[in-house]
A and B are shown apart, each in its own frame.
Chain A
Amino acid sequence: MGGKVTCTLGEVKQRADFIIYWGGNPAECHPRHFTKYTIMQKSRFLPRGRKDRTMVLVDIRETKSAKAADIFLQIRPGKDFELITILRALIKGQPVADEQIAETGLSRAVVDDLIARMKRAKFGCMFFGMGLSMTRGKHMNSAALLCLAAEMNAFTKFVAMPMRGHGNVTGADVIMRWQTGFPFGISFNRGYPRYNPGEFSTVDVLVRGDCDAAFIIGADPGATMPQPAIDHLARIPTIVLDPHVTHTSRIARVHITTAPQGIAAPGTAYRMDELPMPLKPALKSPYPSDEEVVRRINEAIARKPFWLPDGRQPQMVATLG
């Protein structure tokens, strides 16, 4: 169990004749997803484009994306995990009681029809959004959906992909993986990377009051995080890099204005399918780039005394057994 069966967006454009959006509202949050990558595209394998594809939207409310869907499945809030689990059972022919299906807000006939369509597809793709990954069940929901996609490969080609938002968050994920082995939630306090979401993830750290300084870049936790987390940011020295003076800047000890990426700062950003795209800034900013500022902070810290005078850190553990 576990893992991820996925593809780049061009595979969806080329081949996907069956597309499910689950807990996402691309029409409003990723407006060009339909037209550039998925249902509206024509391809050599799907020459009639939209007519050759079926789109299903699974969500707890009828968003604008429902208009684009062939089938809209409105499920009860917090029942995503249950529905995915039922689908995983039913595709394998395992028995599921009517009451269990009814609990999700769907009828057996609707679920059976969905399964028949999934199995009939030549190439199925499930995109999942924050309506799945950030609601009751959270990462368990994502894991269940990824399992469903993997298991569908016993019948036909099937893949799944998260609808990542927040600009270049995918780039952060990819880079942290190659430089530290882990995608987020990392501590270097033993001199090498360790991973423990819940312990080292930011909201938890801030709410517990575990950190004694914060460096915030490309995010505005002062506008999005729970109040106890914001209170802690205000208590400790907080440093903010942002093109705007943000909510977080106002409680920070240091704010540095930087050039916005892709508009005035060059570089690279990763698409949600982990392909890197070069940035082509149009404007010359009066402000320095994030890269330049962080590099200069790194250099300034490097000039200060290191942990041990001989250039090492105090070692608790050299090799783990």
Chain B
Amino acid sequence: MIRITGGKVYDPANGIDGEIKDLCIDDHGKFVASVSGGRTIDATGMIIFPGGVDVHTHVAGGAINFARAMTPEDHRRTQAFMRTKTRRSGLGGMAPTTFATGYLYAGMGWTTVNEAAVPVLSARHTHEELADIPIVDKASLTLMANNEIMLDLLEQGEFERAKQVVAWYLWAAKSYGIKAVSPGGVAAWKWGKDAKQLTSPIAGYDKLTPGDIVTQLARICDEMGLPHPMHLHCNNLGAPGNIATTLDTLKHLEGRRAHIAHSQYHAYGGDGWDTMRSETTQLAEYFNTHPGITTDAGAVVFGDTVTITADGPWQHLLYKLTGRKWGNLDVENETGCGIVPYTYRPSNLVNAVQWACGLELLLLIRDPWQVFLSTDHPNGGCFWRYPEIIQLLMNADVRKECLQKIPDRIKSSMVLPEITREYTLSEIAVAMSAGPARALGLKEKGNLGLGCDADLVIYESDPDVLKMFGHPRYVIKAGEVVIEDGDIREAPQGKEFLVKPAYDPATDEFMRPLFEDHYTMSFENYPVEFERLEHPELRDCIPVTER
């Protein structure tokens, strides 16, 4: 039991904006009205937020583990977590080890993370890694928009069957929702090609277009009633002029729920690398007039990182552009992934525009309940650099300072210099916690109300925003003090969220022969055993029309 007294509470989910308020936590790690006994934390003069929620990150599974193998030089120079009697050692950096991932997230007050790209075939591996990420609660999304069995069904117009198959796959993966990466583009990459036009048929198909996949997969997510809508990485990521593709994609989603991943990478004008410019004004306008759709920034921070994405053709291009290491892993029938180390430089037009675009979207989309803090870790930068972005959002003067590092000729390609908006603390609390929790459909997260999970972060109030958000005074996860005065106190095991959407039991026998054609493992061994998950928590699926 814990009582936290005298803190200034920011709890946007309950309309609380900086009230002095006591919080009480019971022995089950939930907020309650009162407790008797237990520890009292005097938070007088301090600021209390709900624990951070990362709606889009890559922290576990085959792709990030590939990135770890490719960056030993970074492990050597990065932050090391020493082994203690109760805690495993780890390494931070561009692709942190699993244990360090938990320490780093919790260390800056984040308590829930969503691993955004899991092939079903490596779901077993991903769950093993998630189990080794301590402290935070976890969810994962299954890659579906390039699954050939599913694409074949859509090509044949078998929508109902496709829906059953998607539900079957989700349960096989034991995941929380659906991720669509560059619909059709990864399937085309299996032949070294890409899919950039929403209305042109995909390589290997007669009729099926990326636009069809977008529309039908969003409908499947809504009809299955997943707590989190379709999580979409649009086609044509990273390319100059891709704003047209992005807006076209959004039109294919009208009337559906959707979360657009890392929209920074999808908001460019121009027609080549030397004419690339920000088109965030157009994209922000779309969000401002369509309140049902959410996004995360996928913001870029300058410096070294490693990029990993299921978008194989993009990574091949990045390898050709940079001449650096290139990892690629195509996964039979389902998807692929590419890995390229990368350095974002302020003097580079493309990188500077990317940096500006992330901040612009966060600042131009008016409702913080629609746009969330993310770097698409590790693509735009590592998650442990979030406090830098918070500082840039809250302080226009710091932005001006950063803009000085950018050559004048580049500044005309961005709108950031004209933006004066500064985030309030309450808006930050929405963008880092309450908003993403709501988008994920995790009602008891990002919320300090009675009965919710007691995940919260207590900061020493400090005009230096970077210091304040980088070094919380306390972090409490499920009612347990995990970080205190800069030390990791406990590293408990978090929960893992998943769904079990209903599907016709005959789907098993429908899938078996297809599976045996497409795959190389045994059908019976493919689904991840429920017993493998540590602390699983099943969530209900309620069709959107019945809510």
- Contacts from A to B (Cβ < 8 Å): 1-11, 13-15, 36-37, 43-44, 122-123, 150, 153-154, 156-157, 159, 174, 177-183, 188, 190-195, 268, 270-271, 274-278, 302, 306, 311-313, 315, 317-321
Q: How far is the CA of A298 from the CA of B331 in the complex (A)?
A: 36
- Nearest-neighbour CB distance to chain A for B371, whole angstroms, equals 31
**Judging by beta carbons under 8 Å apart, are A8 and B125 in contact?**
no
Q: Which of A5, A276, A321 contacts B327 (CB 8 A)?
A: A5
Q: Does B545 contact A (CB under 8 A)?
A: no
Tell me whether B262 is interfacial, beta carbon within 8 Å: no
30 contacts between A and B (CB under 8 A): A2-B70, A2-B325, A3-B339, A4-B66, A8-B329, A10-B331, A10-B520, A11-B332, A15-B190, A15-B191, A43-B517, A44-B517, A157-B191, A157-B192, A159-B328, A174-B65, A178-B65, A178-B97, A181-B68, A181-B75, A181-B90, A181-B91, A181-B93, A182-B75, A192-B90, A277-B525, A311-B85, A311-B86, A313-B82, A320-B79
Contact, CB under 8 Å: B98 / A191: no
With A14-B518, A179-B97, A278-B525 already in contact, the answer to whether A195 and B332 are too (CB < 8 A) is no
CA–CA, A8 to B76, complex, Å? 30
**Residues on B with beta carbons closer than 8 Å to the beta carbon of A317:** 80
Besides A10-B520, A179-B99, A193-B90, 14 other CB < 8 A contacts?
A5-B327, A9-B332, A10-B333, A11-B330, A11-B331, A44-B517, A174-B125, A178-B60, A181-B93, A181-B95, A188-B89, A191-B83, A192-B89, A276-B124
Contacts of A153 in B (CB 8 A): 192, 316
Look across to chain A and name the residue whose beta carbon is closest to the beta carbon of B127.
A276
B518: A residues at CB distance < 8 A: 10, 14
The one of B84, B124, B320, B325 that contacts A3, using a Cβ cutoff of 8 Å:
B325
Chain B interface: which size bin? 35 or more
B192 x A156 contact (CB < 8 A): yes
B547 at the A interface (CB under 8 A): no
| CB < 8 Å neighbour of B89 from A9, A15, A193, A306 | A193
How far is A9 from B521 in the complex, measured between Cα atoms in Å? 10
| Contact of A177 (CB < 8 Å), options: B69, B83, B190, B517 | B69
A2 CA to B519 CA in the complex, in Å? 29
Please tell me if B503 contacts chain A, counting CB pairs below 8 Å.
Answer: no
B529: interface (CB < 8 Å): yes
C-alpha gap A74/B290 in the complex (Å): 65
B122 within 8 A of A: yes
A312 touches B82 (CB 8 A): yes
List, in ascending order, chain B residues with CB within 8 A of A320's CB. Answer: 76-80
Please determine whether B76 and A194 come into contact, CB atoms closer than 8 angstroms: yes
Hey, which chain A residues are within 8 Å of B330, CB to CB? 6-8, 11, 159
CB-CB nearest in chain B for A278: B525
The answer to whether B83 touches A192 (Cβ under 8 A) is yes
- Determine if A276 and B328 form an interchain contact, defined as CB atoms under 8 angstroms apart: no
In the assembled complex, the Cα of A37 lies from the Cα of B519 at a distance in Å of: 10
Contact with A along B81-116 (1 / 0, CB 8 A): 111111011110101111100000000000000000
User: CB of B326 within 8 A of chain A?
Assistant: yes
Does B326 lie within 8 Å of A3, measured CB to CB? yes
Contact of B83 among A1, A188, A270 (CB under 8 A): A188
Contact A150 B98 (CB under 8 A): no
B88 and A5 within 8 A (CB): no
Task: Report whether A13 and B332 are in contact in the complex, using a CB–CB cutoff of 8 Å.
Answer: yes
A114 → chain B, closest Cβ, in Å? Answer: 20
B residues 443-474 near A (Cβ < 8 Å) are none
Residues from chain A with a CB closer than 8 A to the CB of B329 are 6-8, 274
If the complex has contacts A3-B327, A277-B521, are A8 and B80 also in contact, measured as CB distance less than 8 A? Answer: no
- A195→B333 CA distance, assembly (Å): 35
A1 touches B520 (CB 8 A): no
Contact call B88/A179, Cβ cutoff below 8 A: yes
Identify which of B60, B80, B128, B328 contacts A5 (C-beta below 8 A).
B328
- Known contacts: A37-B520, A153-B316, A319-B79. The answer to whether A192 contacts B128 by CB under 8 A is no
6 closest A-B pairs by beta carbon, nearest first, are A10-B332, A311-B85, A3-B325, A7-B330, A192-B80, A191-B82
